[in-house]
Amino acid sequence: FNFTASTTNASPVSTCSTVVNISTSAVASISQEYPTYTILGQSQYQTCYPSSGFGVITPADSNTEGTALATTAYPTEKPNAMVPTRTVQRHSSGDASTSPSLSRATASKELDEQARKNIPGKNRGKRKADTSSSQDSELERVFLWDLDETIIIFHSLLTGSYAQKYGKDPTLVIGSGLSMEEMIFEVADTHLFFNDLEECDQVHIEDVASDDNGQDLSNYNFSTDGFSGSGSNANHSSSVGVQGGVDWMRKLAFRYRRVREIYDKYKTNVGGLLSPQKREALQRLRTDIEVLTDSWLETALKSLLLIQSRKNCVNILITTTQLVPALAKVLLYGLGEVFPIENIYSATKIGKESCFERIVSRFGKKVTYVVIGDGRDEEVAAKQHNMPFWRITNHADLVSLHQALELDFL
């Protein structure tokens, strides 16, 4: 079958399985650059899975899909503060390039990966293997998702590029992006120890688990244990020992363990972390963003939920946002149930290609990997690992992805 997306920028996902012809001009240009590399959505699906023995997958029930955004049903109220008051030195929670017009500096993917400080000793070759369940051995396809501008629209809200591309009111678009960014860092700082962990970033939630002695944390006081994640922070005592030392690593592991507990507890009810006013503001903000982005997240969720409904498939998230704010972002956008915390990776420190290597090591080489994203970095990483890549640049690409999944081409 030859398959193409519609030319409309925003349309609800159709459950129709109509297959139409596609122009070969895009395929020709891509073939010149990557003669042995397949980009999905622009070539025949059969070439990606020549020997697939998969049965036909029933499309996800529309009622199930429609309830995905309703993980927390809150009253609506416009948030009071539109512009965050955080310092400009804080790394952005976005995944993409910089924008000098923002009040908060937003590092590019490449520079962010190079500039991120490596805390001595924090990985020391003792990292536990990434969490895997007994179902991993039954997996046949692993879908590797980018986050920003693929599943959600976030960074292009901050820069105003989305407003320019789709003719939206830039004031509303940028204001919504700034409000969401403020909320992301508020949750990360208040509930997920980002003030402590910003300079102790990890790729995966289990990376320092081997330093955890299993101590009961029920009555543990994190605010008085003297832990300091930054050597330049004069507000914390350094009496806990040298960064990278046994005691320091143990306290670091305690924080990541608590982060995991909080994520697991609130992944389907992020409103439980927020005050009533913030809950209302979040629901209103998510609704506003969906309207401004013509239901981008809802469209992407249709594919995510369809993949999730298959017993032999799994969704994995790889983002260049630091791990802790990435977790806050996933929770606030209502994606916690789609992505268990063990299936979330941050490429800030090591880049996406190295993240892909870790994931292949976890799931093995017998499964088929499909990379879904908008950026050059995940495309190059997919090429290096000979993984098919599905490019997302507009709503139509999301629609065609869902249709391909419905037809069991993916």
Residue range 125-183, pLDDT digits in tens? 445 556 555 456 689 999 999 999 999 999 999 999 999 999 999 999 999 999 999 99
Does 204 reside within a domain?
Answer: yes
What residue type is assigned to position 57 of the chain? I
Q: What is the pLDDT of residue 228?
A: 80
144: left (phi over 0), alpha (psi -120 to 50) or beta: beta
**For residue range 19-73, what is the model confidence (pLDDT) as tens digits?**
344 444 444 444 444 444 445 544 444 334 433 333 333 334 434 433 333 344 3
Residue 201 a catalytic site member: no
- The reply to whether 262 falls in a domain is yes
- The reply to whether 267 falls in a domain is yes
Ranges of beta strands (E only) in 97-226 are 141-145
Q: Does the pLDDT of residue 95 top 70, yes or no?
A: no
Mean pLDDT of 289-313: 97
Amino acid at 287: T
Structural domain boundaries, residue 208? 141-221+244-407
> What pTM did the predictor assign?
0.70
Mean pLDDT of 80-102: 42
- 247 burial via Cβ count (<10 Å: 0-12, 13-18, 19+): middle
Instruction: With cut-offs at 50, 70 and 90, classify the pLDDT of residue 212.
Output: very high
**CATH code at position 299:** 3.40.50.12350
Q: What is the CA 388 to chain-centroid distance, rounded?
A: 19
| Backbone angles phi and psi of 84, in degrees to 5 | -70, 155
Ligand-binding site membership of 374 (annotated): yes
Is 146 known to be catalytic? yes
Residue 130 labelled as part of a binding site: no
User: Which amino acid belongs to residue 116?
Assistant: R
Give domain status of residue 133, yes or no. no
Assess if residue 326 is contained within a domain: yes
Residue 104: how many CB atoms within 10 A of its CB?
21
Total count of domains within the chain: 1
397 within some domain: yes
Residues 336, 290: Cα–Cα separation, whole Å: 18
Sequence-distant (6+) residues with CB within 8 A of 123 are: 207, 208
Catalytic residue among 95, 112, 130, 148: 148
Within 8 A by CB and 6+ apart from 2, the residues are 19, 20, 21, 22, 44
212 is in an annotated binding site: no
Mean pLDDT of the chain: 76
From the list 95, 130, 146, 294, the catalytic residue is 146
- From edge to edge, which strands make up the β-sheet containing 141-145? 39-40, 389-391, 368-373, 141-145, 313-319, 344-346
Contacts of 243 (CB under 8 A, 6+ apart): 119, 120, 121, 122, 228, 231
| Predicted confidence (pLDDT) per residue in 382-406, tens digit | 999 999 999 999 999 999 999 999 9
- Would you place residue 242 in the very low, low, confident or very high pLDDT band (cuts 50, 70, 90)? low
